[in-house]
Amino acid sequence: MNYAPLLDQIASYESQIQALLHRRRLLLCMGDPAVLTLMAARSRQWCQLVGAVTTAGEARTLTEQEAPSLVVLSDQLAEGDAYALLDWVLGCPKSVQVLLLISQIHRRQAIHRAIRNGCDGLVLQTRFGSGALLTALQAISQGGIYVDRALHPTVRNLPGRSGPLQPLTEREREVLQALAAGASNQEVGEQLYLAADTVKTHLASILRKMPARNRTHAAVLGLRWGLID
């Protein structure tokens, strides 16, 4: 593919990315030194870059020392298991969002695990520089999730239960749809003309019926089961 005609459009993404990353503490962990160097050079202009490393061990150390708010992680590292690192980061006491770059699309079980455990965004590495980064950041910065379209068949074929324990009401589906789009409880209430306490009640019912660990997990299950778009 000839990227030359797209260069002006790609350059226009940068100002939007910079706005989304403003005040973010970013940690990059990528196995390819060339991609890491290029991304680190650009990121320094967008936000506070707390580290750019190629191994899982270095990423763990910097996560503990620097408390990043966003980790961009590739699925292939120079040393260590990227998916084990992902699980560890998502389990940290302080909330950290993780954007996973996928080059090995055939690793279905590992991708399933990343989704189940609450990864905020999954992007094909080949599409990372052509607008997917911006789209993913727009989604996760609003509390939503991002799954690259090429990964949708993988998400739909997640193993396990084929639907919720109890059917969701139409209103609960509307609430779940808004949550998957990244809306806060207050924004859901404004969109659907509901009181804040009513939104909380619907959310609690959704988590119980699906069942889901949190709102992100509920959104993933809703997409997987075709309950929402």
Domain extent listing, the chain: 4-156, 170-224
* Segment 109-136 mean pLDDT: 82
CB neighbour list of residue 173: distance below 8 Å, 6 or more residues apart: 222, 227, 228
pLDDT on residue 130: 63
pLDDT on residue 15: 75
**Any bridge partners for residue 121, and if so which?**
99, 146
Residue appearing with tokens 């298991």: 81
Band (189; pLDDT cuts 50, 70, 90): very high
Band (205; pLDDT cuts 50, 70, 90): very high
pTM summary value: 0.69
Q: Which of 10-19, 136-145, 150-159, 176-185 has the highest mean pLDDT?
A: 176-185
* Segment 52-70 mean pLDDT: 96
From 100, 93, 132, select the one nearest 116 (Cα to Cα): 100
- CATH number of the 170-224 domain: 1.10.10.10
CB neighbour list of residue 37: distance below 8 Å, 6 or more residues apart: 52
Q: In terms of CATH, what superfamily is 4-156?
A: Response regulator (3.40.50.2300)
- Edge-first strand order for the sheet with 70-74 is 48-53, 25-29, 70-74, 97-102, 121-124, 146-147
Q: Maximum CA pair distance of the chain?
A: 52
Q: Do 4-156 and 170-224 agree at the fold level?
A: no
